[in-house]
Structure 1
Amino acid sequence: MLSHIGSSAIIAILLICAVAFGGSKDPLETVGSVDLERYLGRWFEVARYPTRFQNESCVVATADYSLMDNGQIRVLNTCWKDHADGEMQDKAEGRAKSVSDNNSRLKVSFFRPFWANYWIIDLGHDYEYAVVSAPSRKYLWILCRESSMDTALFDEIVARLESRGFQRERLLISRAQRERIDG
């Protein structure tokens, strides 16, 4: 009898932990399709999750995507001191390749032979914004064609992300977006 109660308690604890620590999250879905030609160009980071590989003191971060002769995408991530045409603080150059028929799942590499997931999970109809993550939800970037986006749109995107298991509290918001939010 005692061992039955102990087993039930252990099962109950495991179930509680599974729910509390993300066991109930649905698999991360990507957008229906991505026209890579329209996706190319400059994107500004308006918010992101903290990462160990991005400079915390970066004021403006941009990602520039261009098509390479071999069909892959050249990636140039740049950190600017004051504004996107000012003094460069740091940069990382890499490449990306589509790994899905609809181009919503890519792999990106900054250090060969290592490739990381780059999943486009939300995208504006006119490619005015994009949200990028990985299946684990460990990484998250909200990107925009301008240095900041309309606050109502930003709030809508964040609300959709929360409904998909992302945490608003973890977001690091860019200075330009913060200034727009604060008015």
Structure 2
Amino acid sequence: MSWLLAGALLLSGCTSLPDKVEPVTSFELDRYLGEWHELARLDHSFERGLTQVSAHYSMREDGGVRVVNRGFDTEKQAWKEAVGKAYFVDSEDIGRLKVSFFGPFYGAYNIAKLDEGYTMALVIGPNLDYAWLLARDPQPSQGQCEAYLAEADRIGVNREDWIWLKRCD
């Protein structure tokens, strides 16, 4: 989850599952928790100008997920941080969650692709205007990235629209 999703929640408050997006199954939240680096995202004003974006997921006492998104604002030369919460929409073994940074408004967090080692993820929001490529390693291989971009292509995310924060080697 990134800053982009925070804005998506404010604007849409929607937990939809876009056509062609099939959330991963056999999902294990414990393996997903921890630090993720944002490699690429689609453009939105609320995330514009942020670099070094990361998301940290940990458990909440109520069984939900604590979400901490952090990025460096290049214009203000300062770090920005947003704290939110996420909960499963369906069963806990399906990578489909709803996340909120703004009170009662929730947005979709659909994990469309996730490798066996939980090292890279393609996340799609409530529609195809919201997408992120996340990785544990801030510089994964080009081959890893290509497999995720191919899935994004299949879903309908325009490859030219990605904003790259970190390039794949």
Give the TM interval when normalised to the shorter protein: 0.7 to 0.9
- In structure 2, distance between residues paired with 1:161 and 1:42: 22
- The 5 A counterparts of 1:132-147 are 132-147=123-138
Deviations 1:147-169 (A, max 9, x none): 12111211221122112211101
Unmatched 5+ stretches in structure 2: 1-17
2:104 and 2:141 map into 1 onto residues whose CA distance is: 39
Structure 2: which amino acid aligns with 1:68?
A: R
C-alpha distance in 1, partners of 2:146/2:127?
Answer: 23
Aligned to 2:100: 109
- 1:40 maps to 2:33: yes
How many angstroms does 1:74 deviate by?
A: 0.4
Change (3 A) 1:52 1:81: closer
> Which of 72, 86, 108 is 1:80 aligned to?
72
Matched, 1:89 2:79: yes
Counterpart check, 1:70 vs 2:62: yes
Percent identity of paired positions between Structure 1 and Structure 2: 33
Aligned partner of residue 50 in structure 1, secondary structure: coil
Do structure 1's residue 28 and structure 2's residue 21 form an aligned pair? yes
Secondary structure of the 1:47 match is strand
Tell me whether 1:98 sits opposite 2:88 in the alignment.
Answer: yes
Greater share of residues in helix: 1
Judge conservation of contact 1:77–1:93 (CA < 8 Å) in 2.
yes
TM-score normalised according to structure 2 size = 0.81
Classify 1:42/1:111 alpha carbon distance in 2 versus 1 (closer, same or farther; 3 Å).
Answer: same
Q: Extract structure 1 runs of 4+ deviating beyond 4 A.
A: none
Q: What residue number does 1:156 align with? A: 147
User: Does 1 or 2 have the higher relative contact order (CA < 8 Å, sep 6+)?
Assistant: 2
Offset from partner CA, 1:62-109 (integer Å, 9 cap, x none): 000000111010000000369xxxx85111110000111123110000
Is this contact kept in 2: 1:44–1:63, CA < 8 A?
A: yes
Find the aligned partners of 2:87 and 2:137 in 1 and give their Cα distance: 24
Q: CA deviation at 1:53?
A: 2.1
> Match of 1:10?
none
* Shift, 1:36, TM fit: 0.4
Structure with the bigger percentage of strand: 2
Give the letter aligned to residue 61 of structure 1: V
What is the number of residues matched between the two proteins?
A: 149
The equivalent of 2:45 in structure 1 is: 52
Does the 8 Å contact 1:36/1:103 carry over to 2? no
State the structure with more CA Rg: 1
Which runs of 5 or more residues in structure 1 are unaligned? Answer: 1-24
Q: Which amino acid aligns with 1:65?
A: Y
User: For the aligned residues, what is the CA RMSD?
Assistant: 1.9
